[in-house]
Structure 1
């Protein structure tokens, strides 16, 4: 297993605080409930003894790991059934706290990709299964509201040979109706990865990233989401919107091309700055005093079975209308990151999903950040 400690002895911002023994970690979602700060890590798979390395293989019938921050560290407190978990999302609805998982598949090969994605509800400090939604190769949930309407968007779909969904298998938006999630609008993406909902100029937008169909920003017209601007025809991975210096910005990661920062020109988002080349998968944003920081997490370069997983990811600081790299750090099949504050200190937890030899048992890392040094 590779050593993921920053290799530069002069590192002044990131230092390894804790290692978490994860397997195919696909998300590092930090959230709070009444009993404290929590981290949930859904896992894609575990290695099967005797099976050759395969980033699309392994035993998919694994659990999500739940941690609580205790004594300045994350302590595992529970495990939830979560076969081939690609994403975790906590949200509040009707005065209750929920934890939704996007579940990709079940089995050890062959696999079943028409599966139920699981939504748990917190009940007296315990997580109980609340709802199961039929999904096909689910990748990410995104919860948001428009006026008094509540939505849950699902990025899903796969176009691999031999796979055919029982239903439409397209990325879709659900609406909360009478305490349950009902399908509201099929947006059509066939291999979805990521969402971001935001407002610009009084309008609601929903950004959607897809692997094999266009990555599109949709605009809410009062009744439905309509296509507004296309960003890439293929290979989209994530969007992240933010406001800074009185302007609106949108970061877009494309795994087989440049990650790019776009600026709103009053009508459209126009390219402003490259945020690095191949491999980009996810972003995380953090404000520290009057400083703004962005992390870009890199996943792989190349295609299986020869994909390279040991890449460098970046920590940027906003400076003069642009992001500047202030430090790089190693990731190994990096999939996600979350900033959080605890005990008066800033931390960054990073999900790593693959070893350099494409095995699943790879530590995820909690970094302590000295952002005043940036």
Structure 2
């Protein structure tokens, strides 16, 4: 766990400046460890009775500012008068004199602990003894994406909602005051003050809520020990471990924050991004480039990893590309790169040439405004599902057409099976036990976006895909499959609710470039193994969602959604959700980007990254997951 360490010890040297690292790399918080213990210290404490005006520039503690999520742990004892409002510390805000950038203060007359943050004041109930007892007390304050939580003496926990009006890091400017900024100041000793750049639950160990007759049957999950408890007969009874433990403590890992790793600055709108590895050659990142009108072919881009950074490698011709898929086709073990062209009547299949070390055109397959290509393997043979979106009939678009599954015959893809779809945009293949399943996202039937999307299964007897279940969706653009603790889930990205009252439009402007800013709930479905059906599990409010991506950090499961609206925001927010058991998926992080069309997770050694394609700008971002 990376920490800003402010273990503060008494000394006559308190007026010394806190040393600043010679260089500060804001992309790696491990470079910003602040430790003043070795420079000031006496008997393991700061005695603010003797030193009541301890202050220093905030940038010497936080050269890059505090992240949006952090935890403060304070251990102290107070020898001052309890009937005085005073602060343990105060980070002033240069922009205003009336509100602190960050402060923790006592209000003993009202038995309140006051936290000031994000131009807001939070008042928490506090026991009387924390104000003037000579006993050492501990306060832990956690700020997350949407809440502030206080734990007092590892016994009571309270949470208040936080409304963020500014996501910029605080603490780059101003002055950090120990003991407060105005008289009366805090009088006593502080022997611990740690600020961690994450929502850290490890400071108190097991902090249990109250268990009595009123809370009988209540379940409580201890995040530190990963143990689930139940309130029974006024005592907490352990039910069991939520996650298995491992010798290398991998399950203790979680996503602390996200850091920009690289901006590819392609300056071209992109609809999809794909990372892949060719053994013996290198790691690649393919970017599907599209045009608004799609009138002429446009080169898509291929990057290669070189010394930890993505650098341009090759152009390959596409025509309003919507998706890219890489596969090692079997039989024959041939590296292929397949593109879904929305324009034209064919989509290209590129083959890796080990001599020239380039992708060269190998085959063109028949498509109709293709929006996605999904590869998978059954019994050692490669297949390719192409989502055909629409075809032109008498100068009008017909969305009720067949999408096609192709089979690799060892040298080429040949048509294998047609599947009826309605404005198909995405295919998602997944396996449950020995069964192969294929979900299609249907977005529009020519009249409405309220159409069913279908899950198919591969019938080993007929060797064809057959319908398993139809699910009502609202302009569905993406399916994502994932597992959590042995349970199977599907999440759909819904865009907008739209119904045309007359004839079908000649172009799907209301879906591809929708003007409605109204949110539409996207839905997570969970497999009911008894009925072999996916049942609604959780609804999440999204704005024109275009893509979901799932990933794990340690034993923690996450989802990130690409929101394409509302349009009046200069930067549109993609949100990261974390699975938290009985709380289901809760928002924990947000990323503001100018049009996130697609997310792609990949690993580089022990590090994980998310690459993002932008359909509104050329901002192709690579973001590192910091754990």
SS in 2 for 1:81: coil
- The Cα RMSD (Å) is 2.9
Runs of 5+ in structure 1 lacking a partner?
7-15, 22-68, 159-167
In structure 2, which of residues 270, 292, 299 is the aligned counterpart of residue 116 of structure 1?
Answer: 299
Task: Give, in angstroms, the shift of residue 233 of structure 1.
Answer: 5.4
Task: Give, in angstroms, the shift of residue 205 of structure 1.
Answer: 1.3
C-alpha offsets along residues 120-140 of structure 1, whole Å, 9 cap, x if unaligned? 111001111000112211111
1:31 aligned partner: none
C-alpha offsets along residues 182-213 of structure 1, whole Å, 9 cap, x if unaligned? 11111121322112111224432111102114
C-alpha offsets along residues 107-154 of structure 1, whole Å, 9 cap, x if unaligned? xxx887532211111100111100011221111110001242110110
| Greater C-alpha radius of gyration | 2
Task: Give, in angstroms, the shift of residue 157 of structure 1.
Answer: 2.5
After the TM superposition, which parts of structure 1 deviate over 6 Å for at least 4 consecutive aligned residues? none
1:138 aligned partner: 321
Provide closer, same or farther for how the CA distance between residues 182 and 301 of structure 1 changes in structure 2, counting only shifts above 3 A.
farther
Provide closer, same or farther for how the CA distance between residues 370 and 71 of structure 1 changes in structure 2, counting only shifts above 3 A.
closer
Contact 2:406 2:415 in 1 (8 A): yes
Runs of 5+ in structure 2 lacking a partner?
1-144, 147-161, 168-252, 392-401, 445-450, 499-507, 585-627
Higher strand share: 1
SS in 2 for 1:259: strand
* Residues 132-141 or 69-78, more deviating: 69-78
1:153 aligned partner: 338
In structure 2, which of residues 469, 472, 489 is the aligned counterpart of residue 293 of structure 1?
Answer: 489
SS in 1 for 2:346: coil
In structure 1, which of residues 176, 182, 206 is the aligned counterpart of residue 352 of structure 2?
Answer: 176
2:528 aligned partner: 319
1:352 aligned partner: 563
Are 1:273 and 2:449 an aligned pair? no
1:1-374 matches, within 5 Å, as 72-82=256-266, 83-93=268-278, 94-105=280-291, 114-146=297-329, 147-158=332-343, 170-178=346-354, 179-213=357-391, 214-232=402-420, 234-256=422-444, 257-266=451-460, 267=462, 268-302=464-498, 303-305=508-510, 308=516, 310-320=519-529, 321-355=532-566, 357=567, 361-371=571-581
Which has the higher relative contact order, 1 or 2, with Cα contacts under 8 A spaced 6 or more apart? 1
Q: 1: CA distance between counterparts of 2:254 and 2:535?
A: 34
Contact 2:405 2:416 in 1 (8 A): yes
Task: Give, in angstroms, the shift of residue 76 of structure 1.
Answer: 1.5
Task: Give, in angstroms, the shift of residue 278 of structure 1.
Answer: 3.1
Q: 2: CA distance between counterparts of 1:142 and 1:203?
A: 16
Provide closer, same or farther for how the CA distance between residues 234 and 324 of structure 1 changes in structure 2, counting only shifts above 3 A.
closer
Task: Give, in angstroms, the shift of residue 222 of structure 1.
Answer: 2.2
Provide closer, same or farther for how the CA distance between residues 340 and 76 of structure 1 changes in structure 2, counting only shifts above 3 A.
same
SS in 1 for 2:375: strand
Q: 2: CA distance between counterparts of 1:350 and 1:208?
A: 23
Contact 2:422 2:443 in 1 (8 A): no
Provide closer, same or farther for how the CA distance between residues 288 and 111 of structure 1 changes in structure 2, counting only shifts above 3 A.
closer
Q: 2: CA distance between counterparts of 1:204 and 1:248?
A: 13
Q: 2: CA distance between counterparts of 1:240 and 1:233?
A: 14
1:48 aligned partner: none
Provide closer, same or farther for how the CA distance between residues 149 and 259 of structure 1 changes in structure 2, counting only shifts above 3 A.
same
Provide closer, same or farther for how the CA distance between residues 254 and 274 of structure 1 changes in structure 2, counting only shifts above 3 A.
same
SS in 2 for 1:223: coil
Q: 2: CA distance between counterparts of 1:360 and 1:330?
A: 20
SS in 1 for 2:410: coil
